[in-house]
Amino acid sequence: MAAVSSPNPWGKINEEENERLMARRKTRKRIIIIAFSSIILVAVVVVAAVVGASRAAKDGDSSDRRGNDRSIYASIKAICDVTLYPDSCYSSLAPLVTSKSALTPQEIYKLSVQVAISELAGASEKFLRGGAFNKSDPAVEKALESCGELLSLAMDHLNDSLSVEKKSTVAGAFDDLKTWLSAAGTFQQTCIDAFENATDAAAKTAADHALNNATQYTSNSLAIMSSVVESISALGGVGRRRRLMMSSPEVWLSPEGRRLLQANIKADVVVAKDGSGKYKRIKDALKSVPKKSKKRFVIYVKKGVYNENVRVEKNMWNVMMIGDGMDATIVSSNLNFVDGTPTFQSATFAVFGKGFIARDMGFRNTAGAAKHQAVALMSTADQSVFYRCKMDGFQDTLYAHSNRQLYKDCTIIGTVDFIFGNAAVVLQNCRIRPRKPMAGQQDTITAQGKLDPNHNTGISIQNCAVSPLGNLTGVNTFLGRPWKNYSTTVFMQTELGGLIHPSGWMPWVGTTAPNTIFYAEFQNWGPGAVTKNRVKWRGLRLNLSARILSRFTVKPFINGDRWLPAAGVPFKAGL
C-alpha cells in the first residue's frame, strides 16, 4: 500500500487528485428530478417507475425536439451528468445507442457496465503484457503480478453487477450492485497503487493512463446506480423490505446460525500439526474445498502455530475455518514490503472466496516494524466474518480491502495504519491495541481508502475498546488519517484510552485533510474521547445525530440482517 521512499515516515502514497475530483464532482439533483416526475406518472411497479425515469422526464418538452434521436441522446446526457466523468460517460455510451426510443436509466446502466467490461478486458490484455513498463525493475514485475489478480477480480465483480439472484429484493439488489461496483473500482485502483514502489517514476503514470478509461467507466456505472437508489430513497424507501422484529431486535440468529454456534460443529476436514488430522497444513486442506459451493464447508484447525501463507481462493465459497482459540490456533508468516513483497501479496492469511467465516483463530505477521508494510490478514471476500480472532502485526496488520465484512469480538494489534482498506466493514466489540512503532513514527489506527464519493464503503468501529499494548510513552496515537480523498471512518460507542492524542486525527500530508472526507465520533467515552482539542477539519463531524450515525451500523451499512444470521455469529444490528 505504501512506498518506503515516500517523503513522510509512514511511507504511504501522496494523494494529488483532490482538486481535480472536486472540480469534476457533479450534483445529482437533475436525475432525482427526472426520477420524481416519472414515478409520479408511472406508479405501476417500483422497478418500472425507476427504469422509466428518463423517458417520463423528457415527455414534457418533446415538442421542442426534432425526432426521437434527440430525445435518446438527451436522456443519456441527463443520466451522465450525475457522474464524476460526464464527458467520458456520454462519449462511451452515445455511439452504442440503437434504440429508436428514449432509454431508461436501467438500460443506460447496463450499457455503462458493458462498456466498462469491454474497456477493462482490452486494457487488461495490453496492460499485463507490460510493453510500457521496465520489467528489469523488480517492483514493476511484482506490481504486474498483483495486477493480474486484481484486474481479474475487478472483471468478476463487473460481470456480477450485470445480474443478481432472482430471489433478491429490490433493495437487496441495489445493495449488492453498489457493493460489487465499489469493489471493482477498488481493485483497479489497488493495481495502479502497486506501481508506487517502482524505481521508475513513470511506471505509475503509465499504469494510471492504461486503466484511465476503465476506472472512469466503472465509476460512471456506480454513479448511475447510486442516483437511482437515491431517487427511490427520496420517495421514502419505496421497494424496501420490511421484516418483523424478533424478540431481541439487536441480535439476529437464524436456526442454522444457532446450530453453528454450538460446540459440536461437524468438520468436513481436520488440520493438525501433530498428524492427528487428515492434513498437517491449512493450504493442503483448502484443496479439498468444492468450487463455488453454496453449502458450508467446515475446516477444523487444531491448536498449534502454522507457519505458512494461506490463500482462500476466489472460487472457494462458504468456507468456515474454526480453531481452538485466537491464542491457540495461529497462522504465522513474515512476508513484507522491505524484503520485496508488495502489500497486496504480503498477507499471512488472504481471503478471496465469498461467504468466508473464521472463528477462534489467530493471524500474525512477524516481520516487525522495521519491515514496514506487512499484512497479517487480508480479506476481499464479500460477506466475510471473523469472530473471536486475533490479527497481530505492526504496519498494515488488517487489510479490509473490499466488499462487506464483519469483525466481532476480535483483537487487532499494530502500529501504522493497522486497520486499512476500502471495504464496507464493521468492527464490533473488538479490542484495538496500538503497540510501539519505529523511532520517528506515530501510531495511526485507521487509514480508510474511499476514492469515489459513490462507494458504499468505510470503517465503522462500534462498541470497541482502544488501549495500548505495552509502554507507548513518547508515542502519539491517532484514530486515523485519510488515505484517499473520500476517506470514511466512524468511531462510536467506543472506549478510547488516554493514549489518543488530543487532536484525534492526523493529516496524510501537510497540515490538513480534504474537505471531502467523512470522519465522525459519537458517544465514545474514556480519557481519549474528549473532543475539545480535535483537529478543525471540515470533514470531521462531532455532533451528528444518532439517526445519521445509525447508518454505519451492521444492518444498514453492510446489510447484515440479510446474510449474517446464517453465519452463526451474534451481532448488534443497530445502535
Query: In whole angstroms, what is the distance from residue 552 CA to residue 63 CA?
Result: 46
Name residue 227's amino acid: S
Per-residue pLDDT tens digits for 199-239:
777 888 888 999 999 999 999 999 999 887 776 666 555 44
Q: Is the dihedral of CA 494, 495, 501, 502 positive or negative?
A: positive
Measured N-to-C along each axis, helices 138-160 and 212-234 cross at an angle, to the nearest 10 degrees, of 40
The answer to whether residue 63 scores a pLDDT higher than 70 is no
- What are the distances in angstroms from CA 25 to CA 76, 444, 448, 486? 18, 29, 20, 12
Question: What is the full DSSP assignment across 157-186?
Answer: HHHHTT---TTS-HHHHHHHHHHHHHHHHH
Choosing from 396, 409, 443, 452, the catalytic residue is 396
Residue, of 30 and 547, whose pLDDT is higher: 547
Name residue 5's amino acid: S
Measured N-to-C along each axis, helices 105-129 and 202-210 cross at an angle, to the nearest 10 degrees, of 140
> Which residues are CB-contacts of 160 (< 8 A; sequence separation ≥ 6)?
176, 180
CB 492 within 8 A of CB 520: yes
- Domain spans, the chain: 18-234
Backbone torsions φ then ψ of 390, nearest 5 degrees: -125, 130
Per-residue pLDDT tens digits for 445-487:
999 999 999 999 999 999 999 999 999 999 999 999 999 999 9
Choosing from 175, 409, 417, 443, the catalytic residue is 417
- Name the band, by pLDDT with cuts 50, 70 and 90, for residue 538: very high
Q: Is 373 helix (H, G, I), strand (E, B) or coil?
A: strand
Query: In whole angstroms, what is the distance from residue 455 CA to residue 459 CA?
Result: 12
The answer to whether residue 41 scores a pLDDT higher than 50 is no
Annotation marks residue 327 as catalytic: no
pLDDT of residue 1: 55
Per-residue pLDDT tens digits for 305-338:
999 999 999 999 999 999 999 999 999 999 999 9
Per-residue pLDDT tens digits for 391-448:
999 999 999 999 999 999 999 999 999 999 999 999 999 999 999 999 999 999 999 9
- Name the band, by pLDDT with cuts 50, 70 and 90, for residue 120: very high
Question: What is the full DSSP assignment across 33-69?
Answer: HHHHHHHHH--S-HHHHHHTHHHHHHHTTGGGSSSHH
pLDDT of residue 165: 63
Annotation marks residue 417 as catalytic: yes
Average pLDDT value for the chain? 85
Domain formed by 18-234, architecture? Up-down Bundle (1.20)
Q: What do you get for the CA distance between the two ends of the chain, in Å?
A: 32
**Per mean pLDDT, which range of 64-78, 112-126, 391-405, 561-575 is the poorest?**
64-78
Q: Provide the 10 A C-beta neighbour count for residue 378.
A: 27
Q: Provide the 10 A C-beta neighbour count for residue 291.
A: 10
Closest CA to 111 of 220, 185, 25, 24: 220
Alpha helical stretches, state H, 162-295: 170-193, 202-210, 212-234, 255-261, 282-286
Residue 102 class from Cβ within 10 Å (0-12 exposed, 13-18 middle, 19+ buried)? Answer: buried
Measured N-to-C along each axis, helices 29-41 and 212-234 cross at an angle, to the nearest 10 degrees, of 50
Query: In whole angstroms, what is the distance from residue 503 CA to residue 482 CA?
Result: 14
pLDDT of residue 463: 98
Residues paired with residue 406 on neighbouring β-strands, in sequence order:
385, 426
pLDDT of residue 38: 40
